[in-house]
Structure 1
Amino acid sequence: MRVKPIGERLLIKPIKEELKSAGGIVLPEKAKEKSQKAEVIEIGNSDEITVKVGDKVIFAKYSGNEIKIDDEEYILIDWNDILAKIEE
């Protein structure tokens, strides 16, 4: 299924980061905070959106609506909740 955001919204996929303790032990998902990093999957219809599909971004902690598409977790988020673009 394909989802196309409307207006100034983005569909993003959170990037799951593996977190290790100082001793090298991999911590379980529940022991850490949710990542605020994501990859842009789809973009709505707005001239103001300055990121493109495939860009990696940092988004506001308690923003957006979590949805599942084909057993994958995504977030539908307003453009204003994107805080930064990650450049590597």
Structure 2
Amino acid sequence: MNFQPLGKRVLVEREEEVKTTASGIIIPDNASKEKPSKGKVVAASKEAEGVNEGDVVVFAKYAGSEIALDDKKYLVLNLEDVLGIIK
């Protein structure tokens, strides 16, 4: 994959969360209507100060634009939609 975000943007791969009910039934993320708002930064523009490749970030629920690269889905986020970095 060769993608370089421009402006104050980052490329994020969403983290898929597997949820388990109290009775032990596993509910895959794609069964939920809610999309995860956490993911790993795969690429960051030079202008996206403070966010680096490999960071796990939390972002606004409906933020970004989905793109597909190498048969994988990613999200291009404006830096202002990144709410924080999980350390």
Q: Is the TM-score greater than 0.5?
A: yes
Q: Does 1:15 find its partner at 2:30?
A: no
Moved over 3 A (4+): none
- Aligned-partner Cα distance in 1 for 2:58–2:2: 23
Task: State the partner residue of 1:34.
Answer: 35
Tell me how far 1:20 sits from its aligned partner: 0.7
Structure with more of its chain in strand, by fraction = 2
CA RMSD of aligned residues (A): 1.2
- Counting aligned pairs with the same residue, the percent is 37
- Aligned-partner Cα distance in 2 for 1:31–1:45: 35
Question: Which structure 2 segments of 5+ residues have no match?
Answer: none
Question: Which structure 1 segments of 5+ residues have no match?
Answer: none
TM-score when normalising by structure 2: 0.92
- SS of the residue corresponding to residue 80 of structure 1 reads helix
| Number of aligned positions between the proteins | 86
- Aligned-partner Cα distance in 2 for 1:49–1:38: 18
